[in-house]
Structure 1
Amino acid sequence: MGSGRLDGEVAIVTGGGTGIGRAVSLRFAKEGARVAVVGRTQKTGESTVREIAGSGGDATFIQADVSDVDQVRRMVKKTLARFGRIDILVNNSAIYAGGTILSAKEDDWAQVMRVNVDGVFFCSKYVAQEMVRSRRGSIINISSFLGVKALPNELPYAVSKGAVIQLTRAMSLDLAPYNVRANCVCPGTVRTRMYESVLKDPSMVKRNLQGIPLGRVAEPEEIASVVLHLASDESTYVTGATIMVDGGRSAG
């Protein structure tokens, strides 16, 4: 299956059916982890599970909306029933809404905060309770370069991702005494379904790439490599960190 950097570990990956979450799920399984692929859409989640199983890995799909605390509690119980433990949590589920302080819709704002912030809080809280009992664990929250660098017309999404960064820092202090680590990964523009509309417009692609020093968008697998490092024993002294994986976009 791979080098076995996660042999014997159990991971929950929210939003594991597509994009970064799918890449993380596949990479974790390749490295020996058993994976609970969590998402709202059964079709994409089960597709990821089938691909893992086809390569000899062990995975299960759990349908859950991370913005619903009762569903999150059930997700944790189902993972424990299936695998008996939880060692790694990747909070990747997110939705997007743009707008300015003048134009952003209240309903969009509320829903983005519910999924992108409350969802991370709910999942982290109930998974961390299990990790504290075993005195080990790694939580990786997927934020965005927009959490540290403001751009026009991105208000709801950017604020939600900034909140994820601060949530990660705060929880890292709470969990450190229990040998549970929490870190944040901030991708730049990644070739995922969320970016498809941009890829269809050459002028938008050109404008987007102008802000990236490396001159290209990231592939989901490149983000997964960083997440793997934080999940593994290679990063046992790393907690409370915010790691930019944005091609240099936030440097200037």
Structure 2
Amino acid sequence: MAKIISISNQKGGVGKTTTTGAIAAGYKSQGYRVLCVDLDPQSNLSFSSGAETEDCPTIYEILKGEAKTTFSIQKLPSYDVISSNILLSGIELEFTQTGREFLLKEQLSVVKDKYDYIFIDTPPALSILTVNAFTASDYIIIPMLADIFSLQGIAQLSETIERVKKYCNPNLKVEGIVLTKFNPRTILSREIKGTAELIAQQLDTSIFKSTIRSSVSIMEAQTNQQDIFNYSPKNPATMDYMDLVKELIERGI
């Protein structure tokens, strides 16, 4: 039975999609059965993994009940994917019925026994899509930059997490905060890390020991629709992400 993990932060540009793809590919390289769900209407994860987004059923059709989850999975070299496209952006207005928070959970229940891990790339907004992701998930991983705006975003994110835990998913756990594009040599980064540790305590979680350095190779890999472990295995950021995967496995995730 798969463990379901959402990668989330309402602030854009924090490396959320990159982290989702990297962790998923890292787990796949360790021999696990991995599925990624692109729940972002921008469909960046779908593009970077080489998934089809137009002439195929996407998560939009699945949530509307117009396509079966099992037949919407694309099997790719790095990991399996349920893709997204821009139609997903209108779902807030389309889905107004009672129980709409549970749509994703119901659809993923059909394939949970086929995978060890399901990773959900969430949109950079606290919308019904994010609530669906949290309701379906066992864990949340929060990527953040070492800047003050990311700290503000996490404070707002925590309110959504608490509402979901209260009304939809009491067993949801924030597994940790991972610092991305991190430079430990700057004073600001070290100061922000200290503040982030305080916020992590409020979320009853912690900062991952593994931090992720900036790298042009990551963007190159995404542009070439390859995972970073195949594209640039010896790159420092690639090794950082593998350290993060190993840390998660050591935690029992």
TM-score (norm 1): 0.49
Higher relative CO (Cα under 8 Å, sequence separation at least 6) belongs to 2
